[in-house]
Structure 1
Amino acid sequence: MFYKKLGLQIALAAFCAWDASAQTAAAYSWKNLPKIQQPVFKKDTVRITAFGAVGDGHTLNTKAINEAISTISKKGGGVVLVSPGLWITGPVVLKSNVNLHIQESATLLFTTDKTQYGLVEGSYEGKSAARNESPISGLNLENIAITGKGVVDGNGDAWRAVHKSQLTESEWKEKVASGGVLKDDGKTWYPSEQFKQASVQNKSMLLTPGTTPKDFAHMKDFLRPNLVVLNNCKKVLLEGVTFQNSGAWCLHPLMCEDLTMRNVRVKNPDYAHNGDGMDIESCKNFLIEGCVLDVGDDAICIKSGKDEEGRKRGKPTENGVIRNNIIYKGHGAFVIGSEMSGGARNIFIENCTFMGTDKGLRFKSVRGRGGLVENIYARNIFMRDIVQEAIFFDMYYFVKFATDGVRDMSPVVNEGTPVFRNMQFENIVCNGAQKGVFIRGLPEMPIRNITMKNMTLSADKGIELTDADQISFDNVQLITKQVSPIIFSDNSTNISLSGIKYDSSDLLISVTGERSKNLKIDKTDLSKSKKVAQFEKGAEEKSLTLVKGK
């Protein structure tokens, strides 16, 4: 539906009418979670040593491992066993009905010889791109697994650039001494001159009509591979294995169905550029449980393609359960976006611990993405030492504002307008953050219908809302260092603040913006504030209703 050349009020009225008719009850609930089918394998087992593999940390075993996988797949499937040892290999290609089982004390270490990796058509941040072949890949497969207690190591330092500021002095000296080249200012290390030139010239890796991966041979070293890419596969299991040191994203299931990641460990250095842990893209029916992540970018991230290309694909990431996970470093612990143009829905997150991530629950997008994100549920989330926001929504991802901080008003609501709505968060605890809750929607499309209840948030600042609608807070304790204001609301509507607990403050709530209306505070001790409310930048006192009483 398009609203070009309409005024803002007309566009909003038309869209809201459509929005009301489009809302339906979630297909799932906490009592009726999505069901994920598990793969089943024959017990037939072959060892990679039977095909000539040698685990001496020196021999290249690419041919032997792939022959073992192909042989047992052709026989109807079974287990390919990687026994204890250090197994050097090039790209491994999975086949249907095969469980690649990596035993404890076994490590698959991928070679740093980049000639072993062919240039292929892949994906970069939701768009078709030239990439180096992934260390582990699978395409159009069914009934596949990587299991065991071993390690898969992508040797990612051979692929990545790194900034001097990200390393200690001794680490930087060691990196420079290892080879590679430096940026002209001496502050960035590149693995090669080819990588440097592609980076400083900001060369694109995206495939356009008439181009093929071979056309990118001059910048091959720059096209870092994701460690594991499974494309259009069904009944997938990753269990028990440690995946680490990826050149770019670590685990990337794309358009998969019935995906389980259980008791997996994902480890990347905190300086790993694009060092995401898990990027679940356009997948249906998935379970992530008992996993531990410590990574250099977003940890568990939900994606579904980028901009027009993602909308044309039209495959939302949907019907997922994420539970009992521990996340250490990461830009965001649980994340949706920013490449979510195909949408995301029916996702349940519970019983997770976030320790030291930049953000906790992170939702991000921008004009032009499009996509509908709805029916997201989170409960029993426990956070500690969050660097920035515990709960974060922002529709201005990577947008630079004018020096006065003013955001532009767009009257256009069209296929490129992202929509985030219908979410419930409960029993959230955060001990340490810059902000407890930050929500910033678009003037033409506010973040809408978010319920947050039974939360205790200890942060420098409390709650900040901008262009938000139908947001309710119930039984929320805010333990803040900033005492003026505890809550900030700009051009937001239909905001309910009930049972808010806080320490004494100079100002409880600041309301700004002429579009502010229908804010309500009740079941809250207003006497603890020297001043309950102030109104600025066109906001009127009638926009806020105060119901006295605790």
Structure 2
Amino acid sequence: SGGVLDEQERIWYPTAGSLKGAMACKDFNVPEGINTDEEWNEIRAWLRPVLLNFVKSKRILLEGVTFKNSPSWCLHPLSCEDFTVNNIQVINPWYSQNGDALDLESCKNALILNSVFDACDDAICLKSGKDENGRRRGEPCQNVIVKNNTVLHGHGGFVIGSEMSGGVRNVYVSGCSFVGTDVGLRFKSTRGRGGVVENIFIDNINMIDISNDALTMDLYYAVNDFPETPIPDVNEETPVFRNIYISNVLCRGAERAVYFNGLPEMPLKNIFIKNMTVTNAKKGIVINQASQVNMENIKVEDPEAPGIQIKNATGIIINGKEYKKDSGKMLLSGNQRN
């Protein structure tokens, strides 16, 4: 009981101090109106620490350990090299705030193997800094292998973003299972981030009971409405997602199979999906603001009509699309860029 809402009455905070902290620390490097020890103490409910943080470290091995009930993110290696996780467990309750299991940020040469993650937020997440600070640091998260892991609950099973301003590249994900997550494979960013996400290879993924999308790539992260505004020029603040290859995905139960939503000034580019099956899906495939998307042997069971919606997209190739029953209109295409 209790708690407070923000001015828009969209977000609930457990205390007035946590709300004040959220407003004051929008840019944590330059907090507004927080100078004295008393002022910092007032917002302490917002300043929940990560459980285990490595910074600029090399040759790290986490093996056979269980981490539970982190105040905020659980594991946060930052700017590390040769980082290995093998046979660990991360367990956070579903109701905790920002309880990410593993946030690998601006790390190089990482192995995430044979582990179980049960999180209330993103489970296995790759990041590289936020907005101007991340671009200034300029350290991509790169050369990462994620293999044979299980995720039980979480906002996303495997996630890139939204803080990816230094870039994410050269990533291989294979043999992972996601059970009861909000989204299975989740790529997210927004205007202002900048950075390039590229050369991502994902293969042999199993999902069960996904609440929302089996696969999503959304460059309007945390945007609740989409007003008609002039298309901005491409600059250093424009995020880029390209050269992403996904194959051999089986999902048993999802609200929607696939959701792609790029930016008009920077569509999603060169996305390849092969051998993907989604059963018990309420909705099919949505593609908006994308270029050069190739889908081969995609099967979606029982979506509402239309099975595929394409808007503002070019170079879309869909081969071997299959439904298990008549879903009415298969393709809905709109807007002049298709």
TM-score normalised to the size of structure 2? 0.92
**C-alpha contact 1:207 1:213 (8 A) present in aligned 2:** no
The question of 1:496 aligning with 2:320 is answered no
Identify which of 174, 191, 196 aligns with 1:350.
174
| Corresponding residue for residue 92 of structure 2 | 268
Query: In the TM superposition, what is the alpha-carbon distance from 1:378 to its structure 2 partner?
Result: 0.4
Alpha carbons of structure 1 residues 339 and 188: separation in structure 2 relative to 1, 3 Å: closer
**C-alpha contact 1:260 1:288 (8 A) present in aligned 2:** yes
Identify which of 80, 90, 104 aligns with 1:256.
80
Alpha carbons of structure 1 residues 500 and 189: separation in structure 2 relative to 1, 3 Å: closer
Identify which of 277, 286, 300 aligns with 2:124.
300
**Partner amino acid, structure 2, of 1:422:** N
Answer 1 or 2: which has greater helix percent. 1
**C-alpha contact 1:287 1:321 (8 A) present in aligned 2:** yes
The question of 1:486 aligning with 2:301 is answered no
**Residue correspondences, number:** 327
Alpha carbons of structure 1 residues 461 and 281: separation in structure 2 relative to 1, 3 Å: same
The question of 1:507 aligning with 2:329 is answered yes
Q: Secondary structure at the match of 1:480?
A: coil
Aligned pairs (5 A) from 1:374-453: 374-402=198-226, 407-453=228-274
Q: For the pair shown, which has the larger CA radius of gyration, 1 or 2?
A: 1
Query: In the TM superposition, what is the alpha-carbon distance from 1:327 to its structure 2 partner?
Result: 0.4
User: Deviations 1:7-31 (Å, cap 9, x if unpaired)?
Assistant: xxxxxxxxxxxxxxxxxxxxxxxxx
**C-alpha contact 2:259 2:287 (8 A) present in aligned 1:** yes
Structure 1 regions of 5+ residues with no counterpart? 1-163, 165-181, 517-550
| Corresponding residue for residue 367 of structure 1 | 191
**Partner amino acid, structure 2, of 1:431:** R
Identify which of 46, 53, 57 aligns with 1:233.
57
**C-alpha contact 2:4 2:19 (8 A) present in aligned 1:** no
C-alpha separation in 1, matches of 2:160 and 2:16: 31
**C-alpha contact 2:18 2:44 (8 A) present in aligned 1:** no
User: Deviations 1:214-268 (Å, cap 9, x if unpaired)?
Assistant: 5724433431110000011000011111101000000000000000011110000
C-alpha separation in 1, matches of 2:239 and 2:215: 19
C-alpha separation in 2, matches of 1:189 and 1:311: 30
**C-alpha contact 1:284 1:319 (8 A) present in aligned 2:** yes
**C-alpha contact 2:113 2:146 (8 A) present in aligned 1:** yes
**C-alpha contact 1:401 1:407 (8 A) present in aligned 2:** no
C-alpha separation in 2, matches of 1:487 and 1:313: 40
Alpha carbons of structure 1 residues 451 and 188: separation in structure 2 relative to 1, 3 Å: closer
**C-alpha contact 2:172 2:200 (8 A) present in aligned 1:** yes
Query: In the TM superposition, what is the alpha-carbon distance from 1:346 to its structure 2 partner?
Result: 0.4
Aligned pairs (5 A) from 1:70-469: 182-183=2-3, 190=14, 196-199=16-19, 202-205=22-25, 206-208=28-30, 216-402=40-226, 407-458=228-279, 459-469=281-291
Alpha carbons of structure 1 residues 184 and 280: separation in structure 2 relative to 1, 3 Å: closer
User: Deviations 1:376-429 (Å, cap 9, x if unpaired)?
Assistant: 010000001000000001010111215xxx553413100000000001100000
Alpha carbons of structure 1 residues 371 and 438: separation in structure 2 relative to 1, 3 Å: same
Query: In the TM superposition, what is the alpha-carbon distance from 1:343 to its structure 2 partner?
Result: 0.4
Answer 1 or 2: which has greater strand percent. 2
**Partner amino acid, structure 1, of 2:229:** D
**C-alpha contact 2:302 2:327 (8 A) present in aligned 1:** no
C-alpha separation in 2, matches of 1:439 and 1:364: 10
C-alpha separation in 2, matches of 1:212 and 1:304: 28
Query: In the TM superposition, what is the alpha-carbon distance from 1:477 to its structure 2 partner?
Result: 1.1
C-alpha separation in 2, matches of 1:239 and 1:213: 41
User: Deviations 1:157-183 (Å, cap 9, x if unpaired)?
Assistant: xxxxxxx6xxxxxxxxxxxxxxxxx32
Query: In the TM superposition, what is the alpha-carbon distance from 1:212 to its structure 2 partner?
Result: 7.3
| Corresponding residue for residue 476 of structure 1 | 298
**Partner amino acid, structure 2, of 1:511:** S
Q: Secondary structure at the match of 1:432?
A: strand
**C-alpha contact 1:409 1:444 (8 A) present in aligned 2:** no
Counting aligned pairs with the same residue, the percent is 46
Query: In the TM superposition, what is the alpha-carbon distance from 1:196 to its structure 2 partner?
Result: 3.0
**Which 4+ stretches in 1 moved above 6 angstroms?**
209-213
Alpha carbons of structure 1 residues 201 and 224: separation in structure 2 relative to 1, 3 Å: closer
C-alpha separation in 2, matches of 1:491 and 1:463: 14
Cα RMSD between the aligned structures? 2.1
Query: In the TM superposition, what is the alpha-carbon distance from 1:213 to its structure 2 partner?
Result: 8.8
Query: In the TM superposition, what is the alpha-carbon distance from 1:188 to its structure 2 partner?
Result: 6.9
**C-alpha contact 2:21 2:46 (8 A) present in aligned 1:** no
Query: In the TM superposition, what is the alpha-carbon distance from 1:457 to its structure 2 partner?
Result: 1.2
**C-alpha contact 1:277 1:297 (8 A) present in aligned 2:** yes
Q: Secondary structure at the match of 1:225?
A: coil
**C-alpha contact 1:344 1:373 (8 A) present in aligned 2:** yes
C-alpha separation in 2, matches of 1:338 and 1:407: 23
C-alpha separation in 1, matches of 2:173 and 2:21: 41
**C-alpha contact 2:204 2:247 (8 A) present in aligned 1:** yes
User: Deviations 1:110-133 (Å, cap 9, x if unpaired)?
Assistant: xxxxxxxxxxxxxxxxxxxxxxxx
Query: In the TM superposition, what is the alpha-carbon distance from 1:480 to its structure 2 partner?
Result: 2.4
**C-alpha contact 1:447 1:469 (8 A) present in aligned 2:** yes
